Structure 1
Amino acid sequence: MSMLKSLNPTCFILLAAVFVVILYYVSKFLKNKPQNFMLYLVLLALAAFTFYKRAEVKKFVRNYCFRSQNTQMDYFYDTDPNNNTFIKANLSPRQFFLLDRILMDEKASNGLKLSNLRIQELSRNDNDVIEAYERWRKCKNMNRSYHRVVYPDERIMLKSRRR
Protein backbone atom coordinates (compact mmCIF):
# COMPACT_ATOMS: atom_id res chain seq x y z
CA MET A 1 0.00 0.00 0.00
CA SER A 2 2.89 2.37 0.67
CA MET A 3 3.98 1.99 -2.95
CA LEU A 4 0.56 3.17 -4.14
CA LYS A 5 0.70 6.18 -1.83
CA SER A 6 3.99 7.31 -3.34
CA LEU A 7 2.76 7.15 -6.95
CA ASN A 8 2.07 10.39 -8.75
CA PRO A 9 -1.61 10.62 -9.80
CA THR A 10 -0.82 10.93 -13.51
CA CYS A 11 1.48 7.93 -13.41
CA PHE A 12 -1.15 5.94 -11.52
CA ILE A 13 -3.75 6.73 -14.20
CA LEU A 14 -1.25 5.80 -16.93
CA LEU A 15 -0.44 2.48 -15.25
CA ALA A 16 -4.15 1.73 -14.77
CA ALA A 17 -4.86 2.43 -18.46
CA VAL A 18 -2.00 0.17 -19.55
CA PHE A 19 -3.26 -2.57 -17.23
CA VAL A 20 -6.80 -2.33 -18.70
CA VAL A 21 -5.45 -2.52 -22.27
CA ILE A 22 -3.33 -5.55 -21.38
CA LEU A 23 -6.32 -7.27 -19.76
CA TYR A 24 -8.42 -6.62 -22.86
CA TYR A 25 -5.86 -8.16 -25.22
CA VAL A 26 -5.22 -11.10 -22.90
CA SER A 27 -8.94 -11.89 -22.76
CA LYS A 28 -9.18 -11.71 -26.58
CA PHE A 29 -6.14 -13.95 -26.91
CA LEU A 30 -7.56 -16.50 -24.47
CA LYS A 31 -10.75 -16.78 -26.52
CA ASN A 32 -8.88 -17.27 -29.82
CA LYS A 33 -5.99 -19.61 -28.91
CA PRO A 34 -6.15 -20.91 -25.34
CA GLN A 35 -3.67 -23.75 -25.99
CA ASN A 36 -0.75 -21.39 -26.76
CA PHE A 37 -1.50 -18.90 -24.00
CA MET A 38 0.87 -20.35 -21.38
CA LEU A 39 3.75 -20.51 -23.87
CA TYR A 40 3.24 -16.87 -24.83
CA LEU A 41 2.87 -15.87 -21.20
CA VAL A 42 6.22 -17.48 -20.29
CA LEU A 43 7.92 -15.90 -23.31
CA LEU A 44 6.43 -12.51 -22.44
CA ALA A 45 7.65 -12.82 -18.84
CA LEU A 46 11.14 -13.77 -20.04
CA ALA A 47 11.22 -10.85 -22.50
CA ALA A 48 9.98 -8.45 -19.82
CA PHE A 49 12.65 -9.64 -17.39
CA THR A 50 15.49 -9.17 -19.89
CA PHE A 51 14.16 -5.77 -20.97
CA TYR A 52 13.80 -4.78 -17.32
CA LYS A 53 17.44 -5.61 -16.64
CA ARG A 54 18.96 -4.19 -19.81
CA ALA A 55 17.01 -1.00 -20.36
CA GLU A 56 16.77 -0.23 -16.64
CA VAL A 57 13.05 0.33 -16.76
CA LYS A 58 13.06 0.23 -12.97
CA LYS A 59 15.18 3.39 -12.90
CA PHE A 60 12.83 5.14 -15.31
CA VAL A 61 9.75 4.10 -13.34
CA ARG A 62 11.36 5.14 -10.06
CA ASN A 63 12.37 8.54 -11.41
CA TYR A 64 9.16 9.27 -13.30
CA CYS A 65 6.40 7.65 -11.28
CA PHE A 66 7.48 7.89 -7.67
CA ARG A 67 7.71 11.13 -5.78
CA SER A 68 11.24 12.11 -5.04
CA GLN A 69 12.26 11.57 -1.46
CA ASN A 70 14.90 14.25 -1.89
CA THR A 71 12.34 17.05 -1.56
CA GLN A 72 11.90 16.22 2.11
CA MET A 73 15.62 16.19 2.83
CA ASP A 74 16.46 19.73 1.69
CA TYR A 75 19.53 18.78 -0.31
CA PHE A 76 20.50 21.77 -2.39
CA TYR A 77 23.31 21.82 -4.91
CA ASP A 78 23.92 24.33 -7.65
CA THR A 79 24.57 21.75 -10.33
CA ASP A 80 23.35 23.47 -13.47
CA PRO A 81 25.77 25.82 -15.22
CA ASN A 82 22.91 27.42 -17.16
CA ASN A 83 21.12 28.93 -14.19
CA ASN A 84 22.07 30.83 -11.08
CA THR A 85 19.63 29.22 -8.68
CA PHE A 86 19.76 26.15 -6.54
CA ILE A 87 18.39 23.06 -8.16
CA LYS A 88 17.91 19.68 -6.62
CA ALA A 89 20.03 17.00 -8.20
CA ASN A 90 18.16 13.86 -9.18
CA LEU A 91 19.97 11.49 -6.85
CA SER A 92 18.86 8.90 -4.35
CA PRO A 93 19.50 9.51 -0.63
CA ARG A 94 22.46 7.08 -0.75
CA GLN A 95 23.92 8.98 -3.70
CA PHE A 96 23.47 12.27 -1.85
CA PHE A 97 25.40 10.78 1.05
CA LEU A 98 28.23 9.85 -1.31
CA LEU A 99 28.18 13.33 -2.87
CA ASP A 100 28.33 14.81 0.64
CA ARG A 101 31.46 12.79 1.32
CA ILE A 102 33.10 14.10 -1.85
CA LEU A 103 32.17 17.72 -1.13
CA MET A 104 33.36 17.55 2.47
CA ASP A 105 36.65 16.04 1.33
CA GLU A 106 37.00 18.87 -1.19
CA LYS A 107 36.26 21.44 1.48
CA ALA A 108 38.90 19.84 3.71
CA SER A 109 41.39 20.32 0.87
CA ASN A 110 40.55 24.06 0.76
CA GLY A 111 38.29 23.80 -2.29
CA LEU A 112 40.87 22.19 -4.56
CA LYS A 113 39.61 19.64 -7.07
CA LEU A 114 40.12 16.09 -5.94
CA SER A 115 41.96 13.55 -8.04
CA ASN A 116 39.92 11.21 -10.21
CA LEU A 117 41.03 8.22 -8.16
CA ARG A 118 39.92 9.89 -4.92
CA ILE A 119 36.56 10.85 -6.47
CA GLN A 120 35.98 7.27 -7.61
CA GLU A 121 36.90 5.97 -4.16
CA LEU A 122 34.52 8.30 -2.36
CA SER A 123 31.67 7.80 -4.84
CA ARG A 124 32.15 4.03 -4.96
CA ASN A 125 32.33 4.28 -8.77
CA ASP A 126 28.76 5.61 -9.03
CA ASN A 127 28.62 7.50 -12.33
CA ASP A 128 25.61 9.63 -11.32
CA VAL A 129 27.46 10.91 -8.26
CA ILE A 130 30.62 11.61 -10.26
CA GLU A 131 28.59 13.46 -12.90
CA ALA A 132 26.79 15.53 -10.24
CA TYR A 133 30.14 16.43 -8.68
CA GLU A 134 31.57 17.44 -12.06
CA ARG A 135 28.54 19.66 -12.78
CA TRP A 136 28.91 21.19 -9.34
CA ARG A 137 32.61 21.88 -9.99
CA LYS A 138 31.80 23.39 -13.38
CA CYS A 139 29.35 25.82 -11.79
CA LYS A 140 31.88 26.73 -9.16
CA ASN A 141 34.62 27.29 -11.74
CA MET A 142 32.35 29.49 -13.89
CA ASN A 143 31.62 31.68 -10.85
CA ARG A 144 27.92 30.99 -11.27
CA SER A 145 27.92 29.62 -7.76
CA TYR A 146 29.33 32.75 -6.14
CA HIS A 147 27.72 33.00 -2.71
CA ARG A 148 25.68 29.95 -3.64
CA VAL A 149 28.12 27.12 -3.01
CA VAL A 150 26.53 24.97 -0.36
CA TYR A 151 28.68 22.40 1.34
CA PRO A 152 26.89 19.78 3.45
CA ASP A 153 27.79 21.41 6.76
CA GLU A 154 26.39 24.77 5.55
CA ARG A 155 22.87 23.46 4.88
CA ILE A 156 21.67 24.17 8.42
CA MET A 157 22.68 27.82 8.14
CA LEU A 158 20.93 28.05 4.77
CA LYS A 159 17.71 26.59 6.19
CA SER A 160 17.67 29.07 9.05
CA ARG A 161 18.15 32.01 6.65
CA ARG A 162 15.32 30.84 4.41
CA ARG A 163 12.72 30.96 7.17
Structure 2
Amino acid sequence: MSVTIYIPIIRCPRLKRLALPDNFMLEDDLLIPELVGRWRDLEQLEMETKPSSFLEMIAVIGRNCSRFGRLKVRGLIGKEDAKAIVDCLPDLNHLELSKSYLTKEELVAIINGCRKLERLTVKDCLGLQVDDEVVRSASRIKCFEHEGSKLLDDYGYETDESEQQSGFFYW
Protein backbone atom coordinates (compact mmCIF):
# COMPACT_ATOMS: atom_id res chain seq x y z
CA MET A 1 0.00 0.00 0.00
CA SER A 2 1.51 3.35 -1.03
CA VAL A 3 -0.02 6.67 -0.05
CA THR A 4 0.69 10.31 -0.67
CA ILE A 5 -1.05 11.70 2.33
CA TYR A 6 -3.25 13.54 4.26
CA ILE A 7 -4.56 12.24 7.52
CA PRO A 8 -6.91 9.39 6.42
CA ILE A 9 -3.79 7.25 6.79
CA ILE A 10 -4.33 7.18 10.53
CA ARG A 11 -6.61 4.19 9.93
CA CYS A 12 -4.07 2.18 7.91
CA PRO A 13 -2.24 0.02 10.47
CA ARG A 14 -0.61 -2.11 7.71
CA LEU A 15 0.89 0.89 5.90
CA LYS A 16 4.20 0.01 4.22
CA ARG A 17 5.18 3.07 2.18
CA LEU A 18 4.44 6.71 2.93
CA ALA A 19 5.31 9.98 1.20
CA LEU A 20 4.67 13.15 3.19
CA PRO A 21 4.18 16.54 1.50
CA ASP A 22 6.27 19.55 2.45
CA ASN A 23 3.32 21.73 3.37
CA PHE A 24 2.00 20.10 6.52
CA MET A 25 1.33 22.31 9.49
CA LEU A 26 3.22 22.28 12.79
CA GLU A 27 0.51 20.36 14.62
CA ASP A 28 0.65 17.67 11.90
CA ASP A 29 4.45 17.66 12.12
CA LEU A 30 4.26 16.98 15.86
CA LEU A 31 1.85 14.06 15.27
CA ILE A 32 4.25 12.20 12.96
CA PRO A 33 6.08 10.22 15.69
CA GLU A 34 2.78 9.10 17.23
CA LEU A 35 1.40 8.03 13.85
CA VAL A 36 4.60 6.28 12.78
CA GLY A 37 4.46 4.25 15.99
CA ARG A 38 1.15 2.79 14.80
CA TRP A 39 2.54 1.57 11.47
CA ARG A 40 4.62 -1.42 12.54
CA ASP A 41 4.82 -2.66 8.93
CA LEU A 42 6.27 0.63 7.65
CA GLU A 43 9.16 -0.07 5.27
CA GLN A 44 9.69 3.23 3.48
CA LEU A 45 9.22 6.92 4.32
CA GLU A 46 9.73 9.90 2.02
CA MET A 47 9.57 13.49 3.26
CA GLU A 48 10.07 16.61 1.18
CA THR A 49 11.25 18.49 4.26
CA LYS A 50 12.71 17.32 7.55
CA PRO A 51 10.07 17.72 10.25
CA SER A 52 10.91 19.36 13.56
CA SER A 53 10.02 16.02 15.17
CA PHE A 54 12.68 14.19 13.10
CA LEU A 55 14.76 12.88 16.01
CA GLU A 56 11.73 11.54 17.86
CA MET A 57 10.29 10.10 14.65
CA ILE A 58 13.53 8.22 13.85
CA ALA A 59 13.62 6.80 17.39
CA VAL A 60 10.00 5.59 17.09
CA ILE A 61 10.69 3.99 13.71
CA GLY A 62 13.75 2.25 15.16
CA ARG A 63 11.73 0.84 18.07
CA ASN A 64 8.51 -0.09 16.26
CA CYS A 65 9.15 -0.73 12.55
CA SER A 66 11.32 -3.83 12.25
CA ARG A 67 11.06 -3.95 8.43
CA PHE A 68 11.96 -0.32 7.87
CA GLY A 69 14.67 0.00 5.21
CA ARG A 70 14.25 3.17 3.14
CA LEU A 71 14.34 6.82 4.14
CA LYS A 72 14.25 9.92 1.94
CA VAL A 73 14.41 13.35 3.56
CA ARG A 74 15.58 16.87 2.71
CA GLY A 75 16.80 19.50 5.11
CA LEU A 76 19.54 20.36 7.52
CA ILE A 77 21.19 17.09 8.55
CA GLY A 78 23.19 17.92 11.65
CA LYS A 79 25.27 15.85 14.03
CA GLU A 80 22.24 14.80 16.12
CA ASP A 81 20.35 13.76 12.99
CA ALA A 82 23.24 11.67 11.69
CA LYS A 83 23.68 10.07 15.12
CA ALA A 84 19.95 9.26 15.31
CA ILE A 85 20.01 7.66 11.87
CA VAL A 86 23.00 5.52 12.85
CA ASP A 87 21.76 4.63 16.34
CA CYS A 88 18.09 4.02 15.51
CA LEU A 89 18.24 2.79 11.90
CA PRO A 90 21.51 0.83 11.59
CA ASP A 91 19.89 -1.69 9.20
CA LEU A 92 18.81 0.95 6.68
CA ASN A 93 19.20 -0.27 3.07
CA HIS A 94 18.42 2.91 1.12
CA LEU A 95 18.99 6.49 2.23
CA GLU A 96 18.43 9.61 0.17
CA LEU A 97 19.46 13.00 1.53
CA SER A 98 19.61 14.89 -1.79
CA LYS A 99 19.23 18.67 -1.67
CA SER A 100 20.07 18.72 2.03
CA TYR A 101 22.65 20.68 3.98
CA LEU A 102 25.09 17.97 4.99
CA THR A 103 28.77 18.04 5.90
CA LYS A 104 31.41 15.42 5.24
CA GLU A 105 31.55 14.58 8.95
CA GLU A 106 27.85 13.67 9.11
CA LEU A 107 28.01 11.75 5.83
CA VAL A 108 30.99 9.65 6.94
CA ALA A 109 29.29 8.94 10.29
CA ILE A 110 26.22 7.64 8.43
CA ILE A 111 28.31 5.58 6.00
CA ASN A 112 30.32 4.00 8.84
CA GLY A 113 27.30 3.45 11.09
CA CYS A 114 24.76 2.09 8.61
CA ARG A 115 26.68 -0.95 7.43
CA LYS A 116 23.77 -2.45 5.45
CA LEU A 117 23.35 0.52 3.09
CA GLU A 118 23.02 -0.62 -0.51
CA ARG A 119 22.04 2.73 -1.95
CA LEU A 120 23.05 6.18 -0.71
CA THR A 121 22.08 9.33 -2.60
CA VAL A 122 23.40 12.75 -1.62
CA LYS A 123 22.97 14.64 -4.91
CA ASP A 124 22.97 18.44 -4.94
CA CYS A 125 23.78 18.78 -1.24
CA LEU A 126 25.23 21.98 0.14
CA GLY A 127 28.10 21.92 2.64
CA LEU A 128 29.52 18.71 1.22
CA GLN A 129 32.31 17.98 -1.19
CA VAL A 130 32.80 14.29 -1.83
CA ASP A 131 36.52 13.55 -1.79
CA ASP A 132 38.62 10.38 -2.02
CA GLU A 133 38.15 9.63 1.68
CA VAL A 134 34.36 9.66 1.35
CA VAL A 135 34.50 7.56 -1.82
CA ARG A 136 36.69 4.99 -0.04
CA SER A 137 34.33 4.91 2.94
CA ALA A 138 31.38 4.38 0.62
CA SER A 139 33.10 1.76 -1.57
CA ARG A 140 31.08 -1.12 -0.05
CA ILE A 141 27.79 0.59 -0.98
CA LYS A 142 26.46 -0.76 -4.28
CA CYS A 143 25.08 2.57 -5.49
CA PHE A 144 26.55 5.83 -4.16
CA GLU A 145 25.26 8.94 -5.96
CA HIS A 146 26.73 12.31 -5.03
CA GLU A 147 26.73 14.45 -8.16
CA GLY A 148 26.17 18.18 -7.76
CA SER A 149 27.08 18.42 -4.09
CA LYS A 150 29.25 21.41 -3.21
CA LEU A 151 30.78 23.33 -0.32
CA LEU A 152 29.78 26.76 -1.61
CA ASP A 153 26.35 28.20 -2.25
CA ASP A 154 25.40 29.84 -5.57
CA TYR A 155 26.73 33.19 -4.36
CA GLY A 156 30.20 31.83 -3.59
CA TYR A 157 29.88 31.94 0.19
CA GLU A 158 31.46 29.15 2.14
CA THR A 159 29.16 27.17 4.33
CA ASP A 160 30.23 26.93 7.93
CA GLU A 161 29.22 25.71 11.37
CA SER A 162 27.48 28.97 12.27
CA GLU A 163 24.99 28.48 9.42
CA GLN A 164 24.42 24.91 10.48
CA GLN A 165 23.95 25.86 14.12
CA SER A 166 21.42 28.58 13.31
CA GLY A 167 18.87 26.10 12.01
CA PHE A 168 18.16 28.22 8.93
CA PHE A 169 18.43 26.45 5.62
CA TYR A 170 16.95 27.62 2.35
CA TRP A 171 17.17 25.70 -0.88
Q: Could you tell me the TM-score, scaled by structure 1's length?
A: 0.27
Higher relative contact order (CA 8 A, sep 6+): 1
Structure ranking higher in strand proportion = 2
Q: Which has the larger radius of gyration?
A: 1
Structure ranking higher in helix proportion = 1
